[in-house]
């Protein structure tokens, strides 16, 4: 049995269906649908995955569905239906590549609001290609309801960095019901349940294809309640 809390996330819908990833141990081609972020609060970290039992301040997830299943709705019923590329976000210098997201949060403080954002390269949000060789891989579940066990997870070891102020903007701008700040938008860590977590240090097709993925454009921010 899995704890599966309902919460709200900030999601960026990707424009078009041409962004794909394959190789790197993935069986077939996966098409990107959206990416979204998880955060904590001003004094506590909010990543979903832990590294050596430690949470990082935030986490970014790029969600793909398997192309052969048609769409994400169909893929949700298949054990290998989704592939999520995950990145930890740690405190560092101000990251101006995230300004177009961070600076738009004030326009979508409440559930179901959306706003257009300028086109930009997804690659600019992520670590460089040569920093993407090391990653963790396991078969798990969605971290949002219905928490289906249909996700091939890839967590990259190299982190994204944002300033503390940028990180704080998420937990101090986005609102939950009751007119309170939306904080701690992560699912608690689940039992391993005999899963194998693999670690790769080899450059792979996945990474080369990831770069193709990153040339995408974004169209809007949307608040979604699951």
CB atoms within 10 A of CB 206: 22
Is residue 132 exposed (0-12), middle (13-18) or buried (19+ Cβ within 10 Å)?
A: buried
CB-nearer residue toward Zn ion: 61 or 66: 61
Among residues 7, 49, 106, 161, the one annotated as catalytic is 7
- Candidate segments 59-67, 120-128, 163-171, 216-224, binder of Zn ion by CB under 5 A: 59-67
Under rule CB under 5 A, residue 64 binds Zn ion = no
CB atoms within 10 A of CB 119: 11
Measured from each CB, the residue nearest to Zn ion is 61
Q: How far apart are CA 15 and CA 213, in angstroms?
A: 12
Find the binder of Zn ion among 14, 26, 61, 187 (CB under 5 A): 61
How long a stretch of residues is the chain? 226
For the CB of residue 89, give the shortest distance to Zn ion in the complex, in Å: 12
Locate all alpha helices (DSSP H) within 87-163, ordered by sequence: 99-102
Answer whether 192's CB lies under 8 Å from 139's CB: no
Sorted by sequence, the CB contacts under 8 Å of residue 11 that are 6+ apart come out as 34, 35, 36, 221, 222, 223, 224
Active site residue 7: yes
CB-nearer residue toward Zn ion: 61 or 64: 61
CB-nearer residue toward Zn ion: 41 or 203: 41
CB-nearer residue toward Zn ion: 61 or 137: 61
- Candidate segments 57-65, 128-136, 187-195, 200-208, binder of Zn ion by CB under 5 A: 57-65
Cα–Cα nearest to 47, from 60, 66, 36: 60
- Candidate segments 58-66, 129-137, 181-189, 207-215, binder of Zn ion by CB under 5 A: 58-66
Tokens matching residue 172: 């101090």
Q: How far apart are CA 38 and CA 194, in angstroms?
A: 26
Write each residue from 12 to 51 as x if it is in contact with Zn ion (CB under 5 A), else as -, in one continuous string: ----------------------------------------
Please give the C-alpha separations between residue 102 and each of 12, 80, 95, 146, in angstroms, as whole numbers: 12, 32, 10, 28
For the CB of residue 130, give the shortest distance to Zn ion in the complex, in Å: 26
CB-nearer residue toward Zn ion: 185 or 210: 185
Give the count of residues interacting with Zn ion (CB under 5 A): 1
- Candidate segments 53-61, 66-74, 123-131, 149-157, binder of Zn ion by CB under 5 A: 53-61
Question: Which residues of this protein are in contact with Zn ion, per CB under 5 A?
Answer: 61
């Amino acid at each position: 049995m899995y704890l599966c809390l309902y919460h709200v996330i900030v999601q960026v819908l990707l424009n078009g269906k041409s962004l794909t990833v394959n190789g790197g141990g993935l069986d077939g081609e996966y098409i990107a649908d959206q990416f979204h972020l998880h955060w904590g609060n001003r004094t506590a970290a909010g990543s979903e995955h832990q590294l050596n039992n430690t949470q990082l301040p935030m986490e970014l997830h790029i969600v793909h569905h398997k192309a052969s299943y048609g769409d994400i709705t169909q893929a949700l019923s298949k054990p290998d239906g989704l592939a999520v590329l995950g990145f930890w976000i740690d405190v560092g210098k101000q990251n101006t590549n995230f300004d177009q997201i961070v600076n738009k949060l004030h326009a979508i403080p409440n559930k179901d609001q959306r706003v257009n954002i300028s086109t930009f390269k997804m690659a600019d949000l992520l670590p460089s290609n040569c920093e993407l060789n090391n990653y963790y891989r396991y078969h798990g579940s969605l971290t949002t309801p219905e928490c289906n066990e249909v996700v091939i997870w890839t967590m990259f070891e190299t982190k994204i960095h944002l300033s503390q102020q940028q990180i704080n903007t998420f937990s101090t701008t986005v609102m939950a019901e009751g007119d309170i700040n939306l904080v701690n938008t992560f699912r608690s860590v689940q039992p391993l349940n005999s899963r194998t977590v693999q670690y790769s240090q080899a450059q792979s097709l996945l990474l080369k294809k990831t770069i193709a993925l990153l040339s995408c454009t974004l169209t809007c921010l949307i608040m979604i309640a699951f």
